[in-house]
Amino acid sequence: MIHKTIFYRLIFILTLAPFLLYAQETPPHPKTPMMGWSSWNNFRVDINEQVMKAQADAMVLTGLKKAGYNFINMDDGFFGGRNEKGELLVHGKRFPSGMKALADYIHSKGLKAGIYSDAGINTCASIWDKDTIGVGSGLYGHDEQDLNLMLKTWGYDFIKVDWCGGEKLALDEEMRYTQIANHIKRIKKEALFNICRWQFPGKWAIEIADSWRISGDINNKFESILNIIDKNADLWKYSSPGHVNDMDMLQVGRGMSYEEDKSHFSMWAMMNSPLLLGNDLRTISKETLTLVTNTEVIALNQDKLGYQARRLKKSGELEIWAKPLVSTMSGLVAVSLLNRSDKTASVDLDLESLGFDLSHHYTIRDLWKHQDYPATKAKTERFELPAHGVITLKIKGKLIPFNIFQSEK
């Protein structure tokens, strides 16, 4: 006879086995911000399967994939309304091969595929871009049906859920997005979920989403970049590994100056936003490619600590932003000096205010010049900033206990 203790242990193990197997089979959500490309900024609804495939091809051929970019996200513009049974249709002229074939193609390149919907009845493009063929294509009333189709049948890995239709219906944001999140978890637990509400939704979003938009749509003007930075400045405490403030898709390579693009990219990296390119990758310039594949700056965004940079000093149009790397006591600190003005300016960086113990040497590396400065114990360092420009540094030294990064203020 089997001893009672052994018998009960066997029963316990057999009961637990399916859950252990499920945990092993379900890939964990990434703990660093998403990197990839999204269609909206450059194409709006003027997309098709040839354009989408070409972006996937270019991501591999240009070396962007090697630099860490791995998502090809399709935004609004693929919908074809619904049939008499309420089943979601695809725009036949734009995507004759269908959505599954496109996801399969993207996956064949070793990349991941993202898709789009709305929390209400109608999507943003059907309202604002007069893409009337997509009327009625939102999730409302079709949550389980559409999410099964998009995430399971078609095989997409990420979904962005907009709010235009939800706003038109005056839906309760927390309740509606929580409903959608619960469906996603049941249907495809590993799928990533973005709440696109155009403002910080509230603390409730942190519990249900991988990322959430904190502003209205970005445009390719430096004023827009600064506006979004300001909106995110005090939201650093809501960012953590795997759950980040989304500052919207990048406008790098879409008409701003080189210095403005560099400031834009640096601040999105420092502030832990998803890095989603929004330019046409088929025609990306060498200058833009070099900028967005700066692995030293990307590493700040992908740091496992997930600490969003904080604005530690503002003096007129000059600002100092900083974040610890690895841990708050590692002695590694990333710093961005930002010049919002249209004139060159000097900035004095006080190392003591960053929490460095100046009885020990520290070293500074300029991550855009890829240049190291000699070790020193100097209290301040002076830097010259170009108009609308940024200098991004990695400083290595010894931090004092209970430093600025371990305090709310």
Please give, one letter per residue, the 3-state secondary structure of the chain: CCCHHHHHHHHHHHHHHHHHHHHHHCCCCCCCCCEEEECHHHHCCCCCHHHHHHHHHHHHHCCHHHHCCCEEECCCCCEEEECCCCCEEECCCCCCCCHHHHHHHHHHCCCEEEEEEECCCCCHHHHHCCCHHHCCCCCCCCHHHHHHHHHHHCCCCEEEEECHHHHHCCCCHHHHHHHHHHHHHHHCCCCEEEECCCCCCCCHHHHHCCEEECCCCCCCCHHHHHHHHHHHHHHHHHCECCEEEECCCCCCCCCCCHHHHHHHHHHHHHCCCCEEECCCHHHCCHHHHHHHCCHHHHHHHCCCCCCCCEEEEEECCEEEEEEECCCCCCCEEEEEEEECCCCCEEEEEECHHHCECCCCCEEEEECCCCEEEEEECCCEEEEEECCCCEEEEEEECCECCCCHHHCCC
Q: How many CA atoms lie within 13 A of 380 on its CB side?
A: 7
Q: Which residues pair with 335 in a beta bridge?
A: 322, 393
Q: Enumerate residues 6+ apart whose C-beta is below 8 A from 18.
A: none
Give CATH for domain 35-302: 3.20.20.70
Residues 193, 210: contact at Cβ < 8 Å? yes
Q: Which residues pair with 393 in a beta bridge?
A: 335, 366
Give CATH for domain 310-397: 2.60.40.1180
- Total length of the chain: 409
pLDDT of the residue at 12 = 47
∠ Cα 224 162 103 (to 5°) = 105
Residues 118, 69: contact at Cβ < 8 Å? no
pLDDT of the residue at 383 = 98
Q: Which two tokens stand for residue 277?
A: 């390119």
Q: Which pLDDT tens digit goes with each residue over 183-238?
A: 999 999 999 999 999 999 999 999 999 999 999 999 999 999 999 999 999 999 99
Domain positions in the chain: 35-302, 310-397
Q: Which pLDDT tens digit goes with each residue over 99-116?
A: 999 999 999 999 999 999
Of these residues, 76, 131, 146, 162, which one is catalytic?
162
pLDDT of the residue at 28 = 79
Of these residues, 57, 104, 129, 217, which one is catalytic?
217
Catalytic status, residue 217: yes
Choose among 34, 35, 32, 54: nearest CA to 43.
Answer: 54
Number of Cβ within a 10 Å radius of residue 117: 25
Catalytic status, residue 162: yes
Low pLDDT (below 70) residues in the chain = 1-26
pLDDT of the residue at 408 = 79
Question: pTM score, two decimals?
Answer: 0.93
Q: Which two tokens stand for residue 338?
A: 């930002």
Q: Enumerate residues 6+ apart whose C-beta is below 8 A from 358.
A: 351, 352, 377, 378, 379
